[in-house]
Structure 1
Amino acid sequence: MAPGLPTAMDRPHFIGIGGAGMSGIAKILAQRGARVAGSDSRESATAESLRALGATVHIGHAAGHLADDSTCVVVSSAIRADNPELVRAAELGIPVVHRSDALASLMEGLRAIAVAGTHGKTTTTSMLAVALTELGLDPSYAIGGDLEGPGTNARHGAGDIFVAEADESDRSFHKYDPEVAIVLNVELDHHANYASMDEIYDSFETFAGKIVPGGTLVITADQPGAVELTSRLRDLSTLKIVTYGDSPSADVRVHKVTPRGLTSEVTVVLDGRYLTFTVSVPGRHYAHNAVAALAAGVALGIPAHNLASALGKYTGVKRRLQLKGEVNGVQVIDSYAHHPTEMTADLEAMRGAASDARLLVVFQPHLFSRTQELGTEMGQALALADASVVLDIYPAREDPIPGITSALIIDAARAAGADVTAVADKATVPDVIAGMAKQGDLVLTMGAGDVTDLGPQILARLSN
């Protein structure tokens, strides 16, 4: 049976409770019987879903939102030291708990699967959550996006398995002690926290070293950063390493990925046997995520053929190539991709799924630091589209960096031969797209910020 409430987490207050990571932890605590409260900067469907579970959610940040009898205040790395609720917590002597420590406490006593990597964490974690649920194992899970089926990013299950995203961005994945860990890829990102690939490797080595003795690391055999990490871990005697991918040397080898419209048929070779299953999202990138999920489930002792069948029940995660609708023969799809590798993977996936369609992209860069380091590569990725609209940078938690604007991306895209339009006013994008789109086109809204809000607006404008 799953455990109850962790010590001192029975009356938590979350600052930024609507965030993808924070809301998942809050939901699980509420389902375990905690009196959950918190605040967020704006109303959202997430806030409403938390209230439906009995949580108190305040809009805006104010010292008065924090109850005097709160047992802890949960924060993420995005919360600034001058937040009035955080200041009030210090005055009252209420302990402050980082999001990763709260999540780690929820996993205690359970068989944890932690999914790490620069890209693909949400999709792979979701695939595992869906497959394990389909098999009747009733897992708990905490994911960075809402599943299409259950429509939520977290759940408290009665089973003994907990599946969680393991976020490397602030090194918080060092807090977990999983039985099985997945590393999908290792690339330089989160430039405010990592200065070099050596720092990235050191961080992932620490994560791998936290796997319980006798546990398993599932890692790709294809991506250079992951291959380097594997070579650094070979002397870790307490760790079993299982590789997957296209490489002939992979323990779980991807034999073939066959596009079937917006789905893929995947054949792998596992223990000398061929196994074929369907993935309900397009592209090799997502097919490989499914193979990683398969390998992790097998490492827990679940029969591969059962897992393969259950993985076919996965129907997607919101914002991961999510079809928002179709009007007058124009499909609008939403993508969370914000790193050049992710952008390229999603654009290639859409090309493969609809090779005869024109691909129009609305891209919103995410973070000044990421744009400073990777703006050229972002622009080059946009050359895969027939035409692109590029918005101003979404700052999220960052302050502006002098001289760093979307122009870095636009210049690089044009140098690569791309057709790019700069749009400073996001509100005008539906009109811009309506003037560009023709019957049969695909429109992809792309980025980790609020560009997702444009999908319904574009559809509404197209209908007129």
Structure 2
Amino acid sequence: MKSADFHTTAALAFEQLGRVHFIGLGGAGMSAVARILLARGVPVSGSDARDSQALEQLRRLGAVVQVGHDAANVADADTVVVSTAIRPENPELQAAASAGLTIVHRSVALAASMGSQELIAVAGTHGKTTTTSMITVMLRHAGLQPSFAIGGGVAALGVNADFGEGRYFVAEADESDGSFLNYRPRIAVVTNVEADHLDHYGTAEAVHRSFDGFAALLPADGVLVACLDDPGARALAERVAAPAAPRVVGYGYDPASEVRIGAGGFSSTSSTSTLAFPGGGQALHLQVPGEHNIRNAAAAFAVGLAAGLDPAEAAAGLAEFTGAARRFEAKGEGRGVRVFDDYAHHPTEVAAALQAARKVAGSGGAVHVLFQPHLFSRTREFAAEFADALSLADSVTVLDIYAAREDPVPGVTSELIAGRLSVPGGYEPDPARAVAAVAGRARPGDIILTVGAGDVTQYGPQLVRALEERAAAGRP
């Protein structure tokens, strides 16, 4: 096998993979691809900086796992898989390049793992994980045995990836680094298109052009499912619509939607609505709250119709969906205060999470947020928008920025957001003090939401303990 630049979009056939080594195996996206390959009988090895539950699960499935990065780890590999987070100086990446091994981005390896299955790819600035999960649960309920790869855990599935013998492969298509252009979907979903990941794209116009490229990957007999409630996705649908182009199915509350959402209701744990489509209508009952989840379910329902499912069967499958990890996920309760965790890391996502939180809290409860900004570049670009979205809460405490793959940017700190808030709280760099402050503000009937794509999720259980300790001590 000859060497390949992992930034290219060159296709790789399943038969060409050989023995596959993953650098950064424990990540959600990387572990998902590894699971698929292991299920298909491919020898898999991998490494990561620290051990994790994900690595242990892959060990049990037969992967050879190393904790720590070392050039020797790639000695037996034919193909080396990386993500954008892997830096050029990584010793395994350097050794693979020196040895002339095939080096590919995770998306290329995932595309190869699909073989001849037809791809249902879900893209969008927000809602990808939940929508991909809903589609997978729906197709499995219908007995279609899809393969799937999702960027987060799903309670109704038990895992974030698996290989099925059916016709379809359902995959979350990540636009953050442009790698979603490495797929060849038969059905493509676009939940929304907004400016994000400007560290990669540079401009909002470049983001929109990348989605144009994604839609252009569909064959003439393919289907684009796009949310007409979102200006970016609607504009994309309008640009795609042409006699020789793939069929476009719009969904949403917009009256022009082919799958149109009707009146509904919400509780703290569920949502109901109706879906109208050419030739009929269908009641929809979900075990997750929020208007945004009704939209996600409408997208999944549209996919179900495109895949030939009976409308009632599609709705029955969606009713089995109980949520995705870190998507308004319940973490526990203490002193009558419920604690949830959400992965929201863009202003639109934050606003949607807080709107759902308001419905969960009800008229008598307040909403308190512990927020961790994700990436210096995103904080710089959207500080004012984050502050506006977060101010939908009753109080907000802001932690330090989670850097992820980025180096610090001079002058960019969490104060850019905290200083613009119109509600109590503010910036608190000490996580322990932040947890204590948030727990101290909450009263019985309130809810607390940890928000962000970094490690803020770890503070949910700590908040529950802090609330329980205050109750035991008789403190308000």
2:445 is aligned, of 428, 435, 440, to: 440
What amino acid is the match of 2:275? Answer: V
- Structure 2 equivalent of residue 59 of structure 1: 67
CA displacement at 1:236 relative to structure 2: 6.3
Q: Is the 8 A contact 2:138 2:314 kept in 1?
A: yes
Residue 258 of structure 1: aligned partner: 265
**1:78-97 alignment runs, 5 A limit:** 78-97=85-104
Paired position in structure 1 for 2:34: 26
Moved more, 269-278 or 286-295: 269-278
Please say if 1:391 is aligned against 2:396. Answer: no
Measure, in 2, the Cα distance between the counterparts of 1:126 and 1:457.
28
Matched positions, count: 456
Match of 1:8 in 2: 16
Within-5 A mapping of 1:366-381: 366-381=374-389
- Matches of 1:127 and 1:149, distance apart in 2: 9
- Equivalent AA in structure 1 for residue 216 of structure 2: G
The 1-side partners of 2:265 and 2:26 are apart by 38
| Aligned with residue 39 of structure 1, among 42, 47, 51 | 47
**Comparing 343-352 and 35-44, the one that deviates more:** 35-44
Residue 272 of structure 1: how far off its partner (Å): 4.1
Contact 1:257–1:287 (Cα < 8 Å) also in 2: no
- Cα pair 1:257 1:284 within 8 Å, conserved: no
Render the CA deviation track for 1:202-233: whole Å, top value 9, x for unaligned. Answer: 11111101012201000011111112112221
Equivalents in 1 of 2:109, 2:464: separation in Å? 39
Which has the higher mean CA deviation after the structures are superposed, 138-147 or 420-429?
Answer: 420-429
Contact 1:254 1:269 in 2 (8 A): yes
- Equivalent in 129, 135, 141 of residue 128 of structure 1: 135
Q: Indicate the residue corresponding to 1:404 in structure 2.
A: 412
The answer on 1:98 being equivalent to 2:94 is: no
Q: Are 1:328 and 2:373 counterparts?
A: no
CA distance in 2, matches of 1:105, 1:212: 18
> Any stretches of 5+ residues in structure 2 without a counterpart?
1-12, 470-476
Structure 1 distance, partners of 2:148, 2:154, is: 11
Name the residue aligned to 2:8.
Answer: none
Question: Partner of 1:365 in structure 2?
Answer: 373
Structure 2: distance between partners of 1:10 and 1:358: 55
For residues 421-440 of structure 1, the aligned pairs below 5 Å read 421-440=426-445
Q: CA deviation at 1:8?
A: 3.1
Query: Could you tell me which of 110, 119, 123 is aligned with 2:117?
Result: 110
* Distance in 1 between residues matched to 2:206 and 2:439, nearest whole Å: 45
The one-letter code sitting in structure 1 at the alignment partner of 2:378 is: R
Instruction: Tell me the secondary structure at the aligned position of residue 224 of structure 2.
Output: strand
Tell me, what secondary structure is at the counterpart of 1:256? coil
Cα contact 2:129–2:150 (8 A) shared by 1: yes
Name whichever of 214-223 and 145-154 sits farther off: 145-154
Contact 2:137 2:157 (8 Å CA) reproduced: no
Alignment TM-score, normalising by the size of structure 2:
0.93
Rounded to whole Å, the distance in 2 between the matches of 1:298 and 1:57 is 41
Q: For the residues of structure 2 that align with 1:174 and 1:90, how far apart are their CA atoms?
A: 24
Quote the Cα distance in structure 1 between the aligned partners of 2:453 and 2:265: 29
Question: What's the counterpart of residue 321 of structure 2?
Answer: 314
For 2:171, the equivalent position in structure 1 comes to: 164
Instruction: Give TM-score, length-normalised by structure 1.
Output: 0.96
Q: Is the 8 A contact 2:419 2:426 kept in 1?
A: no
Question: 2:22, 2:240 → 1: CA distance?
Answer: 36
Higher mean C-alpha deviation, range 443-452 or range 275-284: 275-284
User: Could you give the per-residue CA deviations for residues 376-396 of structure 1, whole angstroms, max 9, x where no partner exists?
Assistant: 100111111111110000000
Q: One-letter code of the match for 1:285?
A: H
Aligned letter for 1:281?
V
**1:277 match:** 284
Give me the CA root mean square deviation: 1.3
Instruction: Please name the residue that 1:293 is paired with.
Output: 300
Q: Does 1:203 align with 2:184?
A: no
In structure 1, how many angstroms separate the alpha carbons of the residues matched to 2:169 and 2:273? 26
Q: Distance in 2 between matches of 1:410 and 1:57?
A: 41
Which consecutive aligned stretches of 4+ in structure 1 deviate over 3 angstroms post-superposition?
none
* Counterparts of 2:123 and 2:80, CA distance in 1: 26
Match of 1:420 among 425, 439, 463: 425
**CA-CA distance at 1:432 after TM superposition:** 2.2
AA paired with 2:104?
A: V
Retained in 2: the 8 A contact 1:10–1:33?
Answer: no
